[in-house]
Chains A and B, each alone.
Chain A
């Protein structure tokens, strides 16, 4: 009886999480009646709710499991991930959140068209929503498949189909309004799941700083693992900066800086995060929301490395199996009280589940919204009624959900971190420069913006894909580079982490090409800039979405 209970406890928690998600979705659907409710919740969402929802959407499988797993594996270096995820919001706040909300467009394609009076630019911008979206849904789906196989013993594809179907129908039924409530709830579920078990585990393994201190006391020691010998970092190299993670190609400082640029700029370029700022009633609320998001995710990220540190002591066998990503699920099971361990593991499993569900649904809303609103509503059938667009949204959600499930299934052999890196790098070198320059430089033309976004984004993408193929030995560097180890190290670092050249390249292209096409600066650029920067009290804001 007891064994049965222990075995199925995580499943019970996951099912409860799914029921709560669907239940909230159905409840919220009753309140989402009009088309504009469906797309942007009529901008009636309060700051607390909106901040929780943005945080809930942002904290994906990579944050909930990936960061803890990376810290356990590599020690200090991965701390840059959560720090820069949070730091990205500061940049968003300083340069983008306020102007964008005031401008009154509610998707990046809206911004692109509104800022440059160019419907053609809208099409280019839409393709990037889909590019980034699919690259980001793949790792979420992979995380879902892996977690379900870890806690339930299911086949990889079963987890993907179950998780994917639940989320897809939730999005198709509730639209964004449903998602707002559900994602706010999911933030708090994730926060609870990452924090509460940590306190109980620290009572067993020792406090965060004490465990770290004990590791530092034995600099030359490595975790004791049974079975086959694996080469593990010593405590000293694990706890110090520039370990195996950033030193992979021999240029740790370059790698670190490029990673920082990608993560900080990439956050501002994620389409599913930006769309949220339009649900704020005004620019001031948008700024307050951002501060609360930074507090909510910051507190969350303080807890994630603790799991990695305790994991190094508690579940070193994960080093052997290579499944350090599962540390948040496996560590609680080491408790002497097995039932308590199973309950805590159930809580973290439910949290992981909430992580895929929230991020995946946010992406699905962005992608389906872009298709229904931009491709269908503006390009294919400009005279369609709001109801027809709503139907298009639902169909798009189901189609994109199915495609994502398939991509997740194909992606089994690819690294989650690499796939997330794709999304961040494309966002950093495409949308971020567009939004930054579009908001602050009156001289920007559609040609400059388009060229910077396309070339910067696509070259970064090619570099990353190339480095993956080289990693898998499908592709090789040309002989004259491969022959020189130093040059090879630099090139591989820059391909693996392209943001340090991709972002400046995109910005420079925007400036140079805009200067060359200066005649194409929109005639009413001052009106547009005023709309971006004038306080709402002046009454210059305009809403692009019809109510």
Chain B
């Protein structure tokens, strides 16, 4: 379905007056995803010092030689960042696929108006 969009020579120019709406729609969707992932990550990153400070009995609890805090920051932290970025990339590529047709995004004269009618960015509050 995206074949006609990808071929440069055959592509139809996007009307200039649609740019602002298109930009807002695209950015809102992408920023929504980025902020969601960043919120999870920041919660993790910024809560750890608080746990270390106010709940040392948990932070210094032992698990197989490690303290919990050491195990988390020195080992488990990295796989968590991998999972978050893997999730982000998958979701972000899906957004790009959905957005590669500008007609659908701007609600203009789209051939698939019925399925794309939902206002873009409605999942972002």
Interface string of A262-299 (1 = CB under 8 A from B): 00100000000000000000011001101100110011
Residues of A within 8 A of B73 (CB): 76, 79-80, 83
A420 within 8 Å of B by Cβ? no
**Is A95 part of the binding interface, using a Cβ–Cβ cutoff of 8 Å?**
yes
For window 5-58 of B, CB contacts with A under 8 Å fall at 5-6, 8, 11, 14, 19-20, 22-23, 26-27, 30-31, 34, 37-38, 41, 45-46, 49-50, 52-53, 56
Is A212's CB within 8 Å of the partner chain B? yes
The distance in angstroms between the C-alpha atoms of A298 and B76, with both chains bound, is: 10
Instruction: State whether A537 touches B53 (Cβ < 8 A).
Output: no
Assembly CA distance A264 to B14 (angstroms)? 38
Q: Contact mask B45-89 → A, CB, 8 Å, 1/0?
A: 110011011001001101011110110011101110110111011
A243 to chain B, nearest CB (A): 11
C-alpha gap A80/B69 in the complex (Å): 11
Q: Which of B27, B37, B69, B85 contacts A290 (CB 8 A)?
A: B85
Q: Please measure, in the bound complex, the distance between the C-alpha atom of A95 and the C-alpha atom of B36, giving whole angstroms.
A: 12
Q: Is A534 an interface residue (CB 8 A)?
A: yes
Nearest-Cβ distance from residue B20 to partner chain A, whole angstroms: 5
Q: Are A216 and B38 in contact (CB under 8 A)?
A: no
Contacts of B93 in A (CB 8 A): 284, 287
Q: Which residues does chain B contribute within 8 Å of A256, judged by CB atoms?
A: 49
Task: Other than A241-B56, A537-B6, give 12 A-B pairs with Cβ distance below 8 A.
Answer: A76-B69, A87-B77, A87-B81, A91-B38, A95-B34, A210-B65, A211-B65, A213-B66, A241-B59, A301-B78, A526-B20, A535-B96
Name the prevailing secondary structure of the B interface residues.
helix
Q: Say yes or no: is A239 at the interface (Cβ < 8 Å to chain B).
A: yes
* Mask: chain B, 90-116; 1 = CB below 8 Å from A; 0 = not: 001100110110100000000000000
How far, in angstroms, from A515 to B38 measured CA to CA in the complex?
Answer: 26
A257 touching B46, Cβ below 8 Å: yes
Closest B residue to A80 by beta carbon equals B73
Q: How far is the CA of A414 from the CA of B97 in the complex (A)?
A: 51
Residues of B within 8 A of A305 (CB): 74
- Report the interface size class on chain A: 35 or more
A120 close to B (CB within 8 Å) = no
Q: How far is B76's CA from A83's CA once the two chains are assembled, in angstroms?
A: 10
Closest residue on chain B to residue A284 by CB atoms:
B93
A527 within 8 A of B: yes
In the complex, what distance in Å separates the CA atom of A126 from the CA atom of B11? 37
CA distance A302 to B76 in the complex (A): 9
Contact between B41 and A534, CB atoms less than 8 A apart: no
| Interfacial chain A residues near B100, Cβ < 8 Å | 535, 537-538
Instruction: Tell me whether A26 is interfacial, beta carbon within 8 Å.
Output: no
- Report the bound CA distance from A216 to B69 in whole Å: 13
Chain A nearest CB from B106 CB (Å) reads 11
> A539 at the A/B interface (Cβ < 8 Å)?
yes
Contact A241 B69 (CB under 8 A): yes
Q: Which residues of B contact A216 (CB under 8 A)?
A: 62, 65, 67
Q: What chain B residues lie within 8 Å of A299 (beta carbons)?
A: 78
Interface size on B, residues (CB 8 A): 54
User: Which residues of the partner chain B approach A295 to less than 8 Å between Cβ atoms?
Assistant: 82
Residues of B within 8 A of A257 (CB): 46, 49
Main secondary structure of the interface of A (DSSP, over half): helix
Q: Enumerate chain A residues within 8 angstroms of B74, measured Cβ to Cβ.
A: 79, 83, 302, 305
Best-buried of B53, B70, B89, B93 by chain A (most CB within 10 Å): B70
Give every chain A residue within 8 A of B56 (Cβ-Cβ). Answer: 240-241
- Cα distance, A529 to B123, chains bound together (Å): 21
Q: Which of A86, A207, A291, A534 makes the CB contact (< 8 A) with B78?
A: A86
A215 to chain B, nearest CB (A): 9
Find the A residue at minimum CB distance from B20. A526
B19-A298 in contact (CB<8A): no
**Chain A 365-386 interface 0/1 with B at a Cβ cutoff of 8 Å (1 = within):** 0000000000000000000000
User: Which of A209, A214, A440 counts the most chain B CB atoms within 10 A?
Assistant: A209
A533 in the interface (beta carbon within 8 A): yes
Could you give 9 example pairs across A and B, Cβ below 8 Å? A87-B41, A90-B84, A239-B60, A241-B49, A241-B69, A253-B49, A294-B81, A301-B78, A535-B96
Contact of A530 among B2, B22, B79 (CB under 8 A): B22
Please name all residues of chain A whose beta carbon is closer than 8 Å to the beta carbon of B85 when the two chains form the complex. Answer: 89-90, 93, 290-291, 294
Complex contact B49–A538 (CB within 8 A): no
Chain B residue with Cβ nearest A76: B70
Q: Give the residues in chain A near B46, CB-CB below 8 Å.
A: 257, 260
A506-547 at interface with B (beta carbon < 8 Å): 526-527, 529-530, 533-535, 537-540
Pairwise interchain contact A535-B99, C-beta atoms closer than 8 A: yes
A539 touches B8 (CB 8 A): yes
> Which residues from B are CB-within-8-Å of A530?
19, 22-23, 26
Q: A241-B59, A302-B74 are in contact. Are A94 and B26 (CB under 8 A)?
A: no
Complex contacts, B14 vs chain A, CB 8 Å: 538, 540
| CB within 8 Å for A287 and B82 given contacts A212-B70, A240-B67, A440-B27 | no
Shortest Cβ distance from B94 into chain A, in angstroms?
Answer: 11
| Residues in chain A near residue B77, CB distance under 8 A | 83, 86-87
Distance to closest chain A CB from B37 (angstroms): 6
Q: Are B67 and A239 in contact (CB under 8 A)?
A: yes
Complex contacts, A93 vs chain B, CB 8 Å:
85, 88-89
Q: Which residue of B lies closest to A533 (CB)?
A: B26
Q: Is A30 an interface residue (CB 8 A)?
A: no
